[in-house]
Amino acid sequence: MNEVPTSASPEALVVALTPSQTSALKLAKLGDLHPQNTKTWTHMDATVTYARSDRFKERPIKVKSATTATVERLQELGLLASVDGSSGTEAPQKITMAGKLWLLKHK
């Protein structure tokens, strides 16, 4: 009766992630990840932005992205899941409850 849902499995909470996997998980927490080019994932309409103090727009803030290998590894661990429930590699990805719990535990 009191079963733990599969998306928040205890195995996913004890796994050690690399810094690139951690940053990809944080990126997914800000919004769904969509495939952009052949090997990158980022938010839907991500564009280059500038800081408010950058009056002449000389220093652009880089668009953050994750690699396909990183996204696939996070899917295997159950920290990311497809938005529409399909298992395709081209489907947008969202963070699962296990991913949110991992970020809370390993800040």
In sequence order, what are the residues at sequence separation of 6 or more whose Cβ sits closer than 8 angstroms to the Cβ of residue 49? Answer: 60, 61
Q: How would you write the pLDDT of the chain (107 residues) with one tens digit per residue?
A: 444 444 555 666 678 999 999 999 999 999 999 998 778 999 988 888 888 888 888 889 888 999 999 999 999 999 999 998 777 678 899 999 999 999 999 87
Coil/strand/helix, residue 46: coil
Give the pTM.
0.79
- The amino acid at residue 2 is N
Tokens of 19: 């810094």
